[in-house]
């Protein structure tokens, strides 16, 4: 999987963003920093139709967001949408909850769920894109 960073572009967007351009939640920044992920430059943004042109895969956190994405965007692009938790290797994760209204420990739980899911997805990228890893 080494070298994929030059072939893969990743972005994050929400389905219901009340305040675009805001830094990631301090609790998320703390948890991610503990794991070597720097979110200081990340800002909130709303998913747009342009995302479907720019990105081959749209990964939703839960069924509610998955349904919203399928309803809001062109039917020809719905096959690019999947639940991120379905990509976790060796474990069924399902919906990944929004930890915003929960305890700080919820951010660690979500980090771990996302880590497993993204790791599983990343192992499939070469096959999905038809590139050598």
Q: Is the pLDDT of residue 132 over 70?
A: no
Q: How far apart are CA 78 and CA 69, in angstroms?
A: 8
Smallest CA-to-CA distance from 40 within 51, 48, 28 is with 28
Render pLDDT for 26-58 as a digit per residue (tens, 0 to 9).
Answer: 999 999 999 999 999 999 999 998 999 899 999
Q: Quick check: helix, strand or coil at residue 31?
A: helix
Comparing 68 with 132, the larger pLDDT belongs to 68
| Confidence class for position 12, pLDDT limits 50, 70, 90 | very high
Question: Residue 45 has what pLDDT?
Answer: 97
- How far apart are alpha carbons 42 and 22 in whole angstroms? 8
Predicted local distance difference test score (pLDDT) of residue 91: 85
Exposure string of 36-56, with b = 16+ CB inside 10 Å and e = fewer, is eeebeebebeebeeebbeebe
Assign domain 4-17+48-129 to its CATH architecture: 3-Layer(aba) Sandwich (3.40)
What is d(CA 46, CA 49) in angstroms, rounded to the nearest whole number? Answer: 10
What's the pLDDT tens digit per position in 67-111? Answer: 999 998 877 777 789 999 999 988 889 999 999 999 999 999 999
- CA-based angle 10:31:63, to the nearest 5? 55
């Amino acid at each position: 999987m080494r070298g994929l960073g030059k072939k893969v572009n990743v972005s994050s967007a929400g389905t219901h963003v009340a305040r675009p351009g805001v830094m990631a939640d301090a609790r998320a920044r703390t948890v991610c920093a503990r794991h070597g992920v720097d979110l200081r430059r990340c800002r909130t943004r709303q998913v747009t139709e342009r995302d479907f042109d720019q990105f081959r895969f749209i990964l939703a956190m839960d069924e509610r967001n998955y349904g919203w994405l399928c309803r809001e965007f062109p039917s020809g692009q719905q096959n690019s949408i999947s639940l991120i938790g379905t990509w976790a290797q060796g474990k069924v994760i399902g919906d990944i909850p929004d930890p915003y209204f929960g305890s700080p420990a919820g951010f660690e739980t979500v980090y771990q769920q996302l880590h497993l899911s993204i790791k599983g997805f990343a192992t499939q990228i070469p096959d999905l894109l038809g590139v050598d890893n």
